[in-house]
């Protein structure tokens, strides 16, 4: 397996020994990357390895402390987003950055019309352009829709459309498939291959190693802020990449457990919420059980989670350990012993400008207060405990949460709700955008919580994860639960058939899929 840089050919970008620190934390120690014309170059590493920092330096979002950056043969001594854009560089970050109160067409126009001096807006041309860009991706999104009405997957599609419309020569994609359905992923891969065929160079960041090996020409591996390897994708295996990323062996299977489930912790009867498309939902989850929610994007999984936590309250019969509760807002949910890790960590999970310690303590202020005042020592102790237990990579819990990588921000959001000692925990895409090492740690933590007696609802778009972690799976279709599966009946074919609104196939028909299921 090669660990030295492969000789350049038709090079369009070279980053050499780039460095960047925040408040004493080394986000990048010696990051290097060379990119050739018309190649898909994957950039991989654990959360905190420096991937996002390296790409932000390339796009001019932040300035490097040291090192050299060359683009199309020219040394870049000063960079900013305008300069980067003028050089033909576009970026698609993991968390979409769109203006919620503008339409889809207006968001796309803002990205493509910067610097325009025209005083008259051609609204029809904007609509037509947006429609064509979205259609090229196989997306059916109305250009006149207000951006705030878009799902996370739809927001990501708009971000990709902006980059395509800018006719960029170099495109950096940070976890572009994290929120997309299988069909949307297939369309995106076809589009990436077309762009590569047209000579566009792509830096592709993903924690999904199967995507990397299927799509990339070469792979650069970062670990602890340093480039540790450059490999031809055809010459390396998933396990070799994992060992390069984490510097240790990581189990590739889901945690094994035998947990006897207890009494019913949460029971929901006949939940209807037409405003968010939910109807006729009834289910229960027991003490010590992990109940998986599977289904297509927009099938109602996240909408139900938000309703149960009081963010979009609805009339329903809800019982917590046999006691009827009324959930009108998140305070009612917290009082009932329900915690919720949201899908969109930047909007709902963490406050980026606030210190890590305050992010962790904010859901349990009573626990760190005395006589109405925050006891900073207690807050520090709480934050340090969860930093160690969840392996949050930071030497100081008083730095802003925004200084952390995406995966470590996810751990901070999880720590906040664990600090409230919930009886029922709703986890919406808990490992989305998380590296293999951190994903394994989160899986082990979820199992540990179940073994302590917590009832867990796990929402995941990754079928191996939802099958590998769950005791039972509720399959969603069109705003309701199409049916439930017990572990012995798990298979990808069965789940997807139900998710599309059809009856589950019999055991014989699903036998081949069952062979590949994660047990």
Residue 322, number of CB atoms within 10 A of its CB: 9
Q: What is the pLDDT of residue 505?
A: 54
Radius of gyration (C-alpha) of the chain in whole angstroms: 23
**Is residue 1 in a domain?**
no
Name the nearest CA neighbour of 40 among 237, 235, 199, 162: 199
Q: Of 421, 451, 473, which closes a domain?
A: 421
Q: What is the pLDDT of residue 345?
A: 62
**Is residue 256 in a domain?**
yes
Q: What is the pLDDT of residue 462?
A: 82
Do residues 148 and 231 share a domain? yes
**Is residue 2 in a domain?**
no
Cα–Cα distances (Å) from 325 to 280, 308, 316, in that order, read 19, 11, 10
Do residues 211 and 287 share a domain? no
Q: Of 376, 403, 421, which closes a domain?
A: 421
Q: What is the pLDDT of residue 64?
A: 93
Q: Where residue 480 sits, what CATH number does that domain have?
A: 3.40.50.300
Tell me if the pTM is above 0.75: no
DSSP letter, residue 518: -
Residue 362: which domain range?
349-421
Residue 440, number of CB atoms within 10 A of its CB: 20
Q: What is the pLDDT of residue 511?
A: 32
Do residues 206 and 135 share a domain? yes
Cα–Cα distances (Å) from 31 to 61, 86, 137, in that order, read 16, 24, 32
Do residues 498 and 484 share a domain? yes
Residue 454: CA count within 13 A, CB half-sphere? 23
Q: What is the pLDDT of residue 224?
A: 83
Handedness of CA 465, 281, 184, 512 (dihedral sign): positive
Helix, strand, coil % in the chain, rounded to nearest 5: 35, 25, 40
Do residues 442 and 503 share a domain? yes
Averaged pLDDT in 10-residue chunks for the chain of 519 residues: 46 94 81 95 85 91 94 92 90 80 91 67 88 83 90 80 86 81 78 87 89 94 91 90 72 68 94 92 96 88 94 91 94 93 73 90 82 87 88 87 80 87 93 75 88 94 88 94 93 85 53 28
CB 317 within 8 A of CB 308: no
**Is residue 387 in a domain?**
yes
Cα–Cα distances (Å) from 57 to 67, 230, 428, in that order, read 11, 20, 31
CB 43 within 8 A of CB 54: yes
Q: What is the pLDDT of residue 491?
A: 87
Q: Distance between CA atoms of 288 and 367, rounded to whole angstroms?
A: 25
Burial level of 391, CB count in 10 A (0-12/13-18/19+)?
Answer: middle
DSSP letter, residue 181: -
**Is residue 17 in a domain?**
yes
**Is residue 260 in a domain?**
yes
Q: What is the pLDDT of residue 504?
A: 61
Q: What is the pLDDT of residue 3?
A: 38
**Is residue 5 in a domain?**
no
DSSP letter, residue 367: G
Do residues 331 and 359 share a domain? no
Containing 502, the helix (H) or strand (E) segment is: none
Give the three-state DSSP class for 332: helix
Q: What is the pLDDT of residue 421?
A: 84
Q: Of 183, 213, 246, which closes a domain?
A: 246
Do residues 235 and 324 share a domain? no
**Is residue 3 in a domain?**
no
Do residues 186 and 128 share a domain? yes
Do residues 417 and 427 share a domain? no
What is the bridge-based pairing of β-strands 201-205 and 170-174?
Answer: parallel
Per the structure, how many domains does the chain have? 3
Do residues 214 and 265 share a domain? no
Do residues 84 and 24 share a domain? yes
Residue 123, number of CB atoms within 10 A of its CB: 13
Do residues 413 and 438 share a domain? no
């Amino acid at each position: 397996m090669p660990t030295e840089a492969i000789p350049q050919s038709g090079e369009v970008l070279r980053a050499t020994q780039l460095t960047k620190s925040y408040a004493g934390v080394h986000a990048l120690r010696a990051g290097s990357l060379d990119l050739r014309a018309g190649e898909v170059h994957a950039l991989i590493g654990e959360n905190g390895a420096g991937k996002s920092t390296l790409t932000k330096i390339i796009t001019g979002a932040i300035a490097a402390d040291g090192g050299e950056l060359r683009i199309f043969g020219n040394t870049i001594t000063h960079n900013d987003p305008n300069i980067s854009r003028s050089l033909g560089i576009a970026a698609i970050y993991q968390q979409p950055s769109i203006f919620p109160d503008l339409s889809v067409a207006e968001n796309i126009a803002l990205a493509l019309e910067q610097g325009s001096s025209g005083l008259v807006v051609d609204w029809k041309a904007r609509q037509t352009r947006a429609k064509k860009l979205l259609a090229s991706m196989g997306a059916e999104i109305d250009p006149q829709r207000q951006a705030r009405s878009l799902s996370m997957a739809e927001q990501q599609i708009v971000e990709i459309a902006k980059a395509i419309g800018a006719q960029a020569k170099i495109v950096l994609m940070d976890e572009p498939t994290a929120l997309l359905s299988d069909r949307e992923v297939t369309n995106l891969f076809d589009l990436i291959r077309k762009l590569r065929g047209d000579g566009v160079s792509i830096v592709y960041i993903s924690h999904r190693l199967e995507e990397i090996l299927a799509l990339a020409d070469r792979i650069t591996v970062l670990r602890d802020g340093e480039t540790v390897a450059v490999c031809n994708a055809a010459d390396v295996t998933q396990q070799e990449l994992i060992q390069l990323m984490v510097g240790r062996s990581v189990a590739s299977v889901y945690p094994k457990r035998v947990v006897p489930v207890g009494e019913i912790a949460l029971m929901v009867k006949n939940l209807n919420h037409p405003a968010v498309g939910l109807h006729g939902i009834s289910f229960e989850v027991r003490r010590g059980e992990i109940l998986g929610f599977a289904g297509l994007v927009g099938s109602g999984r996240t909408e139900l989670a938000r309703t149960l936590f009081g963010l979009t309250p609805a009339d329903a019969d809800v019982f917590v350990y046999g006691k009827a509760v009324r959930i009108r807002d998140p305070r009612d949910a917290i009082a009932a012993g329900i915690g919720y890790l949201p899908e969109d960590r930047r909007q709902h999970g963490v406050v980026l400008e606030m210190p890590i310690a305050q992010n962790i303590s904010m859901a349990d202020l009573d626990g760190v207060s005395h006589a109405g005042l925050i006891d900073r020592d207690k807050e520090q102790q709480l934050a340090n405990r969860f930093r160690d237990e969840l392996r949050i990579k930071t030497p100081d819990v008083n730095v802003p949460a925004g200084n952390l990588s995406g995966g470590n921000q996810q751990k901070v959001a999880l720590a906040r709700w664990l600090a409230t000692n919930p009886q029922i925990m709703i986890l919406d895409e808990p490992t989305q955008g998380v590296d293999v090492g951190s994903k394994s740690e989160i899986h082990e933590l979820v199992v540990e919580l179940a073994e302590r007696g917590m009832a867990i609802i796990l929402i995941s778009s990754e079928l191996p994860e939802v099958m590998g972690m769950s005791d039972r799976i509720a399959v969603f279709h069109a705003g309701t639960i199409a049916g439930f599966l017990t572990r012995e009946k798990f298979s990808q074919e069965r789940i997807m058939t139900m998710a599309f609104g059809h009856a589950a196939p019999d055991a014989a028909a699903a036998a081949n899929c069952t062979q590949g299921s994660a047990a």
